[in-house]
């Protein structure tokens, strides 16, 4: 399958991109590096906290979503995405706990051809991450810069 370029992005299209699980070891290892709050790294402190047990850093959940997105893009084949200028609105809705599986679904919200660079555009996306119980744990309204298929600009 060839990769996806700007002209392949259809507003309203929803894709289930894949899923990935987080072990307690992974949750603690990430948090020790980037977010060493007690409820992410210390079982006893986490049990006493308002979470009632170890929970993943929200940044770990977000990075895990990114991994699913990138794995899917690589499976699609080389395509037009060349980076992201950032995003609007990321929400952490429910704690992610050891053993949870995160499922990522992304919908194309808007395709905005560049007015100055005819070979590219911005794709606005709505991503939703659910756990194995179908509960929404994270949502993000993102943006990606995407090239047109080579030779078509």
Residues that bind a second copy (CB under 8 A): 33-37, 50, 57-59, 62-64, 66-67, 70, 74, 82-93
Nearest CA to 60 among 118, 11, 100?
100
Tell me if residue 59 falls in helix, strand or coil: helix
What number of CA atoms fall less than 13 Å from residue 151's CA on the CB side? Answer: 0
* Complex with a second copy: residue 83 or 134, whichever CB lies closer: 83
- Count CB-CB contacts under 10 A for residue 39: 21
Minimum distance of a second copy from residue 107's CB (angstroms): 18
Alpha-carbon distance of 127 to 138, in angstroms, equals 8
Alpha-carbon distance of 126 to 44, in angstroms, equals 36
Minimum distance of a second copy from residue 152's CB (angstroms): 19
* Complex with a second copy: residue 16 or 37, whichever CB lies closer: 37
Minimum distance of a second copy from residue 86's CB (angstroms): 4
* Complex with a second copy: residue 12 or 151, whichever CB lies closer: 151
* Complex with a second copy: residue 47 or 82, whichever CB lies closer: 82
Minimum distance of a second copy from residue 82's CB (angstroms): 6
């Amino acid at each position: 399958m060839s990769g996806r370029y700007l002209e392949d992005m259809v507003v309203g299209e929803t894709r289930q991109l894949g899923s990935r699980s987080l072990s307690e070891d992974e949750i603690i290892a990430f948090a020790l590096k980037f977010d060493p709050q007690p409820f992410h790294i210390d079982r006893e402190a986490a049990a006493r906290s308002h979470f009632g047990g170890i929970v993943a850093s929200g940044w770990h959940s977000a990075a895990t979503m990114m991994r699913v997105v990138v794995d899917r893009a690589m499976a699609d084949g080389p395509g037009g995405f060349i980076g992201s200028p950032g995003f609007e609105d990321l929400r952490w809705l429910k704690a992610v706990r050891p053993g949870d599986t995160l499922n990522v679904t992304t919908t194309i919200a808007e395709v905005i051809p560049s007015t100055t660079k005819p070979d590219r555009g911005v794709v606005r996306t709505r991503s939703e991450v659910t756990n194995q119980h179908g509960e929404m744990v994270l949502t993000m309204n993102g943006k990606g810069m995407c090239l047109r298929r080579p030779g078509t600009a």
